[in-house]
Amino acid sequence: MALELASGARETCTVSGNDFTLTGATSGAISFLTAITKTAGTVDGSTVYAYAFESADPSTYEVMEMTYNSASDKLVRVDTVHGSNGASAVTFDTATGAAVIYRTLTDADVSSKAYSNRLSIGLGNVTSNGSNATGAFVRGSSDNVTVTPYSSTTKLLVTISGDLRVDRTSGSAGLVASEARGGYVNSSSVDTAFGQVATVLMNAQYAASNVFIESPFTSTFLLDNTHYNASGDWQVFPHHRGTNGNFTSNLSNLWIRYQELNN
């Protein structure tokens, strides 16, 4: 059967396994039967892509390829596109009307598997890591974002941006520098520096304390299935380091933006 977009359809439903029995259109919407009839002469067996979620917990959701059964007025799950359980089927509440199913996707949504711009997260101010000596990059233990891959063949394009500030606290005249960049947690649960390095330099003529310099930075990098953590997810974060112990550095106004790609 042909793909039918069933624009404007939104109904409550009762879920049993792969069967989503429709129980009526919500306020201001139309039924799937009405929507499909408007775009197809034959409705039974029509393929639709639908979005379902639990009324009590909308974070439990799934986008599915489904077929419509007109005799019992139900949608039958054929395949999971993506959802709160990744690429696997979600177990919905089976109570009548506990789930809502609505607006099937457009051709563009379906063909891209909803990879684009899945989420943008603001981390806010990251706690200072204190006086950083020369060596490994450091970060706050909770300053990270975890992304579950849609499949093992997709890649994650990550951009981390924010402000890097260096405060001189002591020491004689000389160059003071701090670096910021991105990173990920590898399969051995080890923080791994990754992406472009942004550097902020303190003017060498300043020997006094209580002076600072602040500069914006951006680090962009691409991750694939070799960059998963021990749980099989991407776990990314911003972090920073210094060249000596005569200053403190802080990251602020941080954003992590990511886009999952299919190639």
2, 14 contact by CB (below 8 A): no
pLDDT of residue 1: 45
Same domain assignment for residues 61 and 154: no
Question: Containing domain of residue 170, as a range?
Answer: 119-261
Residue 208 in any domain: the answer is yes
Does residue 2 lie in a domain region? no
Final residue before a domain boundary, out of 72, 91, 111: 111
Q: Write down the pLDDT at residue 28.
A: 73
Whether residue 241 sits in one domain with residue 127: yes
Separation CA 42–CA 70 (nearest Å)? 10
Please report which helix (H) or strand (E) contains residue 150, including its range. Answer: none
User: CB of 48 within 8 A of CB of 6?
Assistant: yes
Strands (E), the chain: 10-16, 19-25, 47-54, 61-69, 74-83, 99-102, 119-124, 145-147, 155-168, 176-185, 191-202, 211-223, 234-242, 247-261
In this structure, are 139 and 93 located in the same domain?
no
For residues 38 and 144, membership in a common domain is answered with no
Residue 142: predicted pLDDT? 65
Residues of the chain predicted below pLDDT 70: 1-8, 38-42, 103-138, 140-142, 168-176, 201-211, 242-248, 263
The amino acid present at 152, given as its one-letter code, is S
Please say whether the beta carbons of 46 and 37 come within 8 A: no
Which runs of consecutive H residues, i.e. helices, occur in the chain? 32-39, 107-111
Classify residue 263 by its DSSP letter. Answer: -
Number of domains forming the structure of the chain: 2
DSSP-derived 3-state class of residue 127: coil
Domain endpoint, select from 55, 85, 111: 111
Amino acid at 32: F
CATH of the domain at 222: 2.60.120.760
In this structure, the answer to whether residues 145 and 255 fall within a common structural domain is: yes
Q: Same domain, yes or no, for 26 and 51?
A: yes
107, 123: one domain: no
Residue 225 dihedral angles phi and psi, to the nearest 5°: -70, -5
C-alpha to C-alpha distances, 138 to 44, 133, 142, 238, nearest whole angstrom: 59, 10, 12, 9
Residue 109: the pLDDT is 40
Q: Could you tell me which of 48, 56, 95, 53 has the C-alpha nearest to residue 74?
A: 48
Domain boundary among 111, 134, 159: 111
What's the pLDDT at 16? Answer: 92
Residue 52 has φ and ψ, to the nearest 5°, of -120, 145
pTM, full prediction: 0.51
